[in-house]
Chain A
Amino acid sequence: MEKQELKGKEIKLMKGNEALAEAAIRAGLDAYFGYPITPQSEVMEYLTEQIPVRRGLVLQAESEVASINMIYGAAGAGARVMTSSSSPGMSLMQEGISYIASAQLPCLLVNVMRGGPGLGTIQPSQGDYFQAVKGGGHGDYKLFTLAPSTVQEMVDFVFEGFRMAEKYRNPALILADGALGQMMEKVELPAEGEFPHVIPDWATTGKKAGRKQNVITSLFIQPEKMEQINIDLQAKYKAMESEVKSESINTEDADVILVAFGLVARICMKAAELAREKGIKVGVIRPITLFPFPTEVLNTTADRVKKFLVVEMNAGQMVEDVRLSINGKADVQFYGRMGGMIPDPEEILTKLESMMK
């Protein structure tokens, strides 16, 4: 097929999943491996339509297990690679993600979360927070985890994810949800071909004369060696803490702070607006990176504000990290909806009102 020219900067109305896929092509994606699962199948559908006439390669694998191991192989061979899935599919990928983290391969993972546990529902959820930031797979490892709350961030975080993955030789994860994947918003797409990728010297590209063989592995059978690998990984995760990002809105004069990530942060902003109309001074803190977690901003905010409400689409997962960050300095309460239900601003307002009585 005849290849199209590189696309310039554009403003478009796009669905979250498709915007993410378009961003990946513009970010110089070499290869995508995936397996269909609702509510993110549009990612691979979009790529299978676009890639043959643009650049890169896309392969529908036989399972999520195969997909994540293809990501391992292609990343190990030096390619810029991405996969995407939704909650049950991400569970299947966890073993492979642990191997990728241990072998220190850069790649971008996307989880468009749906309600669980089990086969659950195809409606949006944030039930995979623990899986994303507390390991998910076996062993001590971390994923650089970005939580978009707009379709624009679905685009921007593709670039940010690849940048962080390649800077730290570590998998990065975009933790979105079904609503973000399906909703349409106006997005600004960066120009294609302006985010160069160099094949790293550690990649398996064929052992050239004069250099030692390159080996990609996560097997270090001597405990002394394996401990050292762990020490190195922990040092890397520590260094990644400097990349922490969060957004604070109207927190300066607030009497109560809403803490939420992703889609729920937007709902909380509306709830805060409604609360201020009723005279309750509410601020919002939105963690943008979930690992590294914005511990510092939460902790210092708690020097002044003594009430926090964490809102999530799960049974209470990030709230544990908020409590650890605040470390007893303030009252931290939780409000959540589960199983694919989205909280509305009024119910959050009701909860806020009960806290301020």
Chain B
Amino acid sequence: MAIKGTIIIDTELCKGCELCVLACPQKGLVLSDKINLKGYRVVELYMDNCTGCVNCALVCPDSAITVYREKKAQAV
């Protein structure tokens, strides 16, 4: 079973640049139709296949992404 992970996107920090979408090896992110208070369309996690690899957070220029990953002990 793949490592399970998830992310939280601070949508008020997101500027919809989609660099995280490009960086996600699972193709799990998408630019949504939701619009934040600054008027940017924001990215969301739409697939249930996140591994918590942190690639999206590393390339996020706006420090908008927090990443969580299942601990090995929990995965058993």
A–B proximity contact (CB within 8 A): no
B-binding residues in A (CB < 8 A): none
